Amino acid sequence: MGITGHSTGPLTDDGLVQLLTPAGERTSHPDYDARVAHLDADALRGLYRDMVLVRRFDTEATALQRQGELALFAQGLGQEAAQIGSGRALAAQDHVFPSYREHGVAHTRGVDLTDVLRLFRGVDHGGWDPVGHGFHLYTLVIGSHTLHATGYAMGVQRDGAVGTGDPDRDTAVVVYFGDGATSQGDVSEALVFAAVNNSPVVFFCQNNQWAISEPTTKQARVPLADRGPGFGVPSVRVDGNDVLATYAVTAEALERARSGGGPTFIEAYTYRMGAHTTSDDPSRYRSSAEEESWRLRDPIDRLRTHLEERGELPTAFVEELAAEADALGERIRTTVRGMGHPSPASMFEHVYATPHSVVEGERVWFEQYEASFADGARAGEGSHR
């Protein structure tokens, strides 16, 4: 048996599915053209609108963190096409397990984006109803939710909601995780379980090229998509800044999952244009030349250019969208400032679904401690700043 080698590292453009070039030109792909054939100009403007609104959310949330209104924020800047394209391919009954940067996907699941900020302000452990939206709570423990998603998908199989042929019943599960997460054992374990059980789960890896300050080149010697086949999971690499391509490859993977064809690994090759979080300073570990080269591949500019060149972005639409984004910004600022500060003791609530004597003992101790301050100034004062 010969030894096979890979000539390309993890940052290659080789093998990326692309339907829109960085210059906004539509390119043809024999396997995926049919997946987007039904998207007319209205639908494309809808995807553009989604991306613009989500970017506005990012900008507002970052400013609110700087003003001390949020404890922390993790921007999705640059990843809008990966998230909106894949999110818009989902069906209502599908279930998503996000990490902590999936604001675009949250938007496609009908989550009010101000609810996402309840978590980042520290007034809530979650912020939305995961069942109602088919969108699980954010997970900060890197990679752990790939196991939750796989287990959930195995449950979907046992509920008989796979391969029935009923488009309103057959269900897929999608888990979003990063390039850094692929180095976690949990992700490998999830791929094993998903593969051997032929579970209806799509592993959607957003390779934004950084895991805080660690580059993808320290996570892998080969494209991350190459991990799938080793587990028996088909995989695809897609240009993550191309909203049409991410829509198309996700639609295909979802269809495979729902029809009983098993899991898929998608690597959406993209770039984290902002900092890891508001606590991070990327100028310490990457060059402005690198950032600039990716600004030229901005996912929103790409679709805007495409629409403009076809005369499908009328001024009235652009103006209405700008007004809508301004209104969203205003609503985000007002809502977040109105969230108030939870009492510190509220951290003991909802630790378990049922009362727990240890947690209760800790709560009692904590309340006595807070009350021991003569002026009571600490009690009720939020510590989220």
Ligand X SMILES: Cc1ncc(C[n+]2csc(CCOP(=O)(O)OP(=O)(O)O)c2C)c(N)n1
Using CB under 6 A as the criterion, which residues of the chain lie in contact with ligand X when the complex forms?
Answer: 101, 140-142, 178-181, 208, 210-212, 272, 276
Contact between residue 311 and residue 42 where contact means Cβ atoms under 8 Å apart:
no
For residue 132, the minimal CB distance to ligand X (Å) is: 25
226: nearest Cα among 2, 7, 27: 7
* Partner from ligand X, Mg ion, none contacting 145, C-beta within 5 to 8 A by type: none
Q: Which is nearer to Mg ion, 179 or 298 (CB)?
A: 179
Q: For residue 14, how many other CB atoms are within 10 A of its CB?
A: 10
Which region, judged by CB under 5 A, interacts with Mg ion, from 86-94, 177-185, 231-239, 313-321?
Answer: 177-185
What is the DSSP secondary-structure string of 314-338?
-HHHHHHHHHHHHHHHHHHHHHHHT
Which region, judged by CB under 5 A, interacts with Mg ion, from 57-65, 183-191, 210-218, 329-337?
Answer: 210-218
Interatomic CA distance for residues 139 and 116, integer angstroms: 12
Q: Which is nearer to Mg ion, 194 or 211 (CB)?
A: 211
Interatomic CA distance for residues 312 and 44, integer angstroms: 9
Q: Helix, strand, or coil here: 272?
A: coil
* Partner from ligand X, Mg ion, none contacting 181, C-beta within 5 to 8 A by type: ligand X
Q: Which is nearer to Mg ion, 107 or 272 (CB)?
A: 272
* Partner from ligand X, Mg ion, none contacting 276, C-beta within 5 to 8 A by type: ligand X
Secondary element (H or E) of residue 265 = strand 264-269
Question: Amino acid identity, residue 342?
Answer: P
For residue 321, the minimal CB distance to ligand X (Å) is: 27
Per-residue b/e over 245-260, b at no fewer than 16 CB within 10 Å? Answer: bbbbbbbbbbbbbbee
Contact between residue 66 and residue 58 where contact means Cβ atoms under 8 Å apart:
no
Residues in the chain: 385
Binding residue (CB under 5 A) for Mg ion from 208, 219, 264, 278: 208
Secondary element (H or E) of residue 203 = strand 201-207
Please give the angle made by the CA atoms of 133, 42 and 168, to the nearest 5 degrees: 35
For residue 76, the minimal CB distance to Mg ion (Å) is: 11
Q: Which is nearer to ligand X, 74 or 195 (CB)?
A: 74
Q: Which is nearer to ligand X, 175 or 211 (CB)?
A: 211
Give yes or no for residue 282 binding Mg ion (CB under 5 A).
no
Q: Which residue is nearest to ligand X (CB)?
A: 178
Residue window 129-168: x/- pattern of binding to Mg ion, with contact defined by CB under 5 A: ----------------------------------------
Binding residue (CB under 5 A) for Mg ion from 50, 179, 239, 252: 179
Contact between residue 224 and residue 182 where contact means Cβ atoms under 8 Å apart:
yes
Which region, judged by CB under 5 A, interacts with Mg ion, from 13-21, 96-104, 187-195, 206-214?
Answer: 206-214
For residue 178, the minimal CB distance to ligand X (Å) is: 2
Q: Which residue is nearest to Mg ion (CB)?
A: 178
* Partner from ligand X, Mg ion, none contacting 142, C-beta within 5 to 8 A by type: ligand X
* Partner from Mg ion, ligand X, none contacting 107, C-beta within 5 to 8 A by type: none
Interatomic CA distance for residues 250 and 265, integer angstroms: 10
Interatomic CA distance for residues 383 and 344, integer angstroms: 7
Which residues in this chain contact Mg ion in the complex, by CB under 5 A?
178-179, 208, 211
